[in-house]
Amino acid sequence: MQLAIFILLWGILILGALPELGQRDLEYRLAWWHPRLMGIISSVVEAICGWHLLRAVLFRSELDVLSPEKAIPLGIIGFYLMVEGLFRLAVTLKLSDYPLPSFPISLLYKAAISFVNREERKTRSTK
């Protein structure tokens, strides 16, 4: 059960943070998909994940369970997730239709789209 909840939350986090083109594609394919609502849920989940990661890192580093070499990068990642989630939430609440995409997910989405387009161009040129 925990694994199913984990997969569901990360799926919502990733799909809700897609750029506008990906949101429109999901909205076209899935009639029940509401981009703004999923973006709000995604940003809240991202902020909560960042908060819990930051809390866990601070707690474990205070107990000397986690070394400073490992605590600093994990703390930075947790802080980034928390701040980006809160920023995306604030901007998405002000926008009307589509949520603000997550920066890392936007980079991965654009890289995947450019790779697919490059492969399509190669197959067209060989035919």
| Interval 39-86: pLDDT, tens | 888 889 889 989 999 999 999 888 888 888 888 999 999 999 899 999
Three-state SS letters, the chain: CHHHHHHHHHHHHHHHCCCHHHHHHHHHHCCCCCHHHHHHHHHHHHHHHHHHHHHHHHHHHHCCCCCHHHHHHHHHHHHHHHHHHHHHHHHHHHCCCCCCCCHHHHHHHHHHHHHHHHHHHHHHHHC
Using an 8 Å Cβ cutoff, are 82 and 51 in contact? yes
Identify the pLDDT of residue 96: 67
Model pLDDT for residues 5-22, shown as the tens digit of each residue: 878 878 888 888 888 778
Give the domain extent around 95: 2-126
Domain count, the chain: 1
The pTM score is: 0.75
